[in-house]
Homo-oligomer: A and B are copies of this chain.
Amino acid sequence: MSYQAPLKDMLFVMNELANLQGVSQLPGCEDASPETAEAVLEESAKFVAGEIAPLNHAGDKEPSYWKDGNVFTSKGFKEAFKQFAEAGWQGLQHPADFGGQGLPKLVGTPCVEMLHGANLAFALVALLSDGAIEALLTAGSDEMKATYLEPLVTGKWTGTMNLTEPQAGSDLAAVRSRAVPQDDGTYKIFGTKIFITYGEHDMAENIIHLVLARTPNAPEGVKGISLFIVPKFMVNADGSLGARNDAHCVSIEHKLGIKASPTAVLQFGDNGGAIGTLVGEENRGLEYMFIMMNAARFGVGMQGIGLSENAYQQAVAFAKDRVQSRDLAGSAGPVSIIHHPDVRRLLMNMRSQTEAARALAYVGASLYDAAHHHADAATRAENQAVYEYLVPIIKGWSTELSQDVARDGVQVHGGMGFIEETGAAQHYRDAKILTIYEGTTAIQANDLVGRKTVRDGGKVAKGLIAQVRATEAELAKLDGADFAAIRKHLAQGAADLEAVVDYVAGNMKTDIKAVFAGSVTYLKLAGIVLGGWQMARAAVISQQKLDAGSSDASFYQAKIVTARFFADHFLAQSSGMRTAIIDGSAGVLALSEDQF
């Protein structure tokens, strides 16, 4: 069975948890009524199931390859991207002025999720273009916008992000690529960039590289980095393509996963210098690059969720189909393995984490829309602050859990899971990149600790915890063991998260290493508590639907069960995590280097 977008769950989250109705009433979002949103999702689901998902396993088996400086992508990718572009999917969230559809992030996000769920390697090309578009919208000149945006938004061209160099991975201060100013106002770019996703390919007419480099006499470190547009083909005044630029792909990597997506080593300036144009002002490159990265980080979080959903669907299908051993409670013959309790546990692990991460991400998207479109400036700022707190969690937590989910998915398949033909192993391999690129989980956690928690003394975090407590109060009004368990573990989770936020905010100045020794665990704890909060909200709403006599009782009952599972199996870990964060730094830091 191939990937099918979980439309019902997506719409439930959008409508019931992420306030689609409210978003559609924001200025500029009026076209995004719940009905329109549903129609868009249905169309997207049909497209990805029909055109994109079938290329996923095939692309893994026959990856893109390099020959004489050119990269040939996996069979069908070129045609599929053409269809993707022509149907307008690249432009879904981008401004109508440049050929986009201008839909809110809340409506675009499920479409992004399903594209990634269907085919991570394919979807990356769109994710990178999204980042380039964001950066040009924010920092590009009018001329740049006029030249580059429409072809990018319509998928005629694609974009890349060129940060990493062999000596400069997470540490952009170490970037050494050079930009030498020319008399005509352009720059000549020299240097080597590595790990450039879709840095070269055959799916679009042109590739717009956004490249970090240093101008002569620029300050050292991150304050001396500028951002340049370096197109693969120069663009003439009329928009037609000109000469080939001096930016060449010298090899692509042999990777653990996402094999269909070419990861390029790009050489700039080996033949006299690649022609680049400065974006915005000199030495502000990092700031602009962060615009791309923040969009991309949210997108990578969606990759984790999409991949998890795909792995879950595949595991469920196998568990229903594979007959093996008798039912524990006694049966005449062997049963499908979905009857076995540990298979259930694995499937519920997968399902509940995927749902929790999805709900948190869509709530994040809704905050983003309010931050960008709300009429009131103070409300915009408030929503922006909460959104920014959530971005590292959506990126870091959703991708870490996707590796657990993919691993559980292989396990459900038993021996068949280890055979590549089955496809479960591909998810396990593909998922591993998600906690690494666009900033490792540790980098996300640095951001969560430094910019998002310490800077405001934990104010935004505490505001979220107060909202969690409001949900606890609603849970208290409901009867039954499920709600009691959810409430108990959510309350403890909130208390643990609050203690950790206080610890982080309070100890940064006195014991920075201890705080950072617990940063990733803090990020995961925040994910579990805030994701668990969404699960609890879903359970409360589901009970209301049931009480109102919904005709879809099975769906809403399942929501309550899944929230209960998440509470007992994930929220219940919160106190152990608090210990690891607050007491556990001693063990992290005590050894000297030579004791390793």
- Using a CB–CB cutoff of 8 Å, the interface residues on chain A facing chain B are 164, 167, 169-171, 173-174, 194-195, 253-257, 316, 319-320, 323-326, 328-329, 334, 336, 338-345, 347-348, 351-352, 403, 407, 410-411, 414-415, 417-421, 425, 428-429, 432-433, 435-437, 440-442, 445, 481-482, 485, 489, 512-514, 516-517, 519-521, 554, 557-558, 561-562, 564-569, 572-576, 579-580, 583-596
Chain B residues near A257 (CB, 8 Å)? 418
Query: In whole angstroms, what is the CA distance A323 to B324 when docked?
Result: 51
Interface centre among A170, A554, A569 (most CB of B within 10 A): A569
Q: Given A415-B169, A428-B256, A569-B580, answer yes or no on A341-B596 (Cβ-Cβ < 8 Å).
A: no
Contact at B588–A344, with CB atoms within 8 Å?
yes
Q: In the assembled complex, how far is the CB of residue A516 from the closest CB belonging to chain B, in whole angstroms?
A: 4
Q: What DSSP secondary structure best describes chain A's contact surface?
A: helix
Contact at A418–B403, with CB atoms within 8 Å?
no
Closest 10 A-B residue pairs measured CB to CB?
A565-B587, A568-B584, A342-B442, A341-B517, A256-B425, A171-B325, A572-B579, A573-B576, A341-B516, A561-B590
Contact at B432–A418, with CB atoms within 8 Å?
yes
Chain B residues near A352 (CB, 8 Å)? 587
Q: In the assembled complex, how far is the CB of residue A415 from the closest CB belonging to chain B, in whole angstroms?
A: 5
Partner of A342, one of B324, B482, B517, B569: B517
Query: In whole angstroms, what is the CA distance A586 to B557 when docked?
Result: 13
Q: Given A325-B173, A440-B414, answer yes or no on A255-B420 (Cβ-Cβ < 8 Å).
A: yes
Chain B residues near A341 (CB, 8 Å)? 513-514, 516-517, 519, 585, 588-589
Whose C-beta in chain B lies nearest to the C-beta of A351?
B596
Query: In whole angstroms, what is the CA distance A441 to B589 when docked?
Result: 33
Whose C-beta in chain B lies nearest to the C-beta of A255?
B418
Partner of A324, one of B174, B414, B435, B568: B174
Contact at A568–B583, with CB atoms within 8 Å?
yes
Q: In the assembled complex, how far is the CB of residue A263 from the closest CB belonging to chain B, in whole angstroms?
A: 8
Chain B residues near A565 (CB, 8 Å)? 584, 587-588
Partner of A256, one of B254, B429, B513, B517: B429
Chain B residues near A418 (CB, 8 Å)? 253, 255-257, 432-433, 436
Query: In whole angstroms, what is the CA distance A325 to B584 when docked?
Result: 24
Contact at B429–A414, with CB atoms within 8 Å?
no
Query: In whole angstroms, what is the CA distance A517 to B414 when docked?
Result: 17
Chain B residues near A594 (CB, 8 Å)? 554
Contact at A420–B256, with CB atoms within 8 Å?
yes
Q: Given A253-B419, A341-B519, A593-B320, answer yes or no on A410-B428 (Cβ-Cβ < 8 Å).
A: no
Query: In whole angstroms, what is the CA distance A255 to B512 when docked?
Result: 44
Contact at A417–B436, with CB atoms within 8 Å?
yes
Chain B residues near A340 (CB, 8 Å)? 442, 516
Q: In the assembled complex, how far is the CB of residue A147 from the closest CB belonging to chain B, in whole angstroms?
A: 31
Contact at B436–A588, with CB atoms within 8 Å?
no
Q: In the assembled complex, how far is the CB of residue A264 from the closest CB belonging to chain B, in whole angstroms?
A: 13
Whose C-beta in chain B lies nearest to the C-beta of A416?
B169
Query: In whole angstroms, what is the CA distance A419 to B263 when docked?
Result: 10
Chain B residues near A441 (CB, 8 Å)? 342, 411
Query: In whole angstroms, what is the CA distance A425 to B429 when docked?
Result: 9
Query: In whole angstroms, what is the CA distance A254 to B595 when docked?
Result: 40
Partner of A328, one of B319, B407, B513, B592: B513
Chain B residues near A433 (CB, 8 Å)? 418
Chain B residues near A517 (CB, 8 Å)? 341-342, 344-345
Q: Given A254-B420, A320-B593, A516-B341, answer yes or no on A586-B568 (Cβ-Cβ < 8 Å).
A: yes
Contact at A587–B572, with CB atoms within 8 Å?
no
Contact at A414–B558, with CB atoms within 8 Å?
no
Partner of A587, one of B339, B425, B569, B592: B569
Q: In the assembled complex, how far is the CB of residue A51 from the closest CB belonging to chain B, in whole angstroms?
A: 27
Q: In the assembled complex, how far is the CB of residue A439 from the closest CB belonging to chain B, in whole angstroms?
A: 10
Chain B residues near A520 (CB, 8 Å)? 342, 345
Query: In whole angstroms, what is the CA distance A329 to B514 when docked?
Result: 11
Contact at B589–A344, with CB atoms within 8 Å?
yes
Chain B residues near A336 (CB, 8 Å)? 593
Whose C-beta in chain B lies nearest to the C-beta of A512?
B328
Q: In the assembled complex, how far is the CB of residue A22 from the closest CB belonging to chain B, in whole angstroms?
A: 30
User: Can you add 4 more A-B contacts, CB < 8 Å, to A329-B512, A568-B579?
Assistant: A417-B432, A562-B591, A572-B576, A576-B576
Partner of A316, one of B564, B575, B596: B596
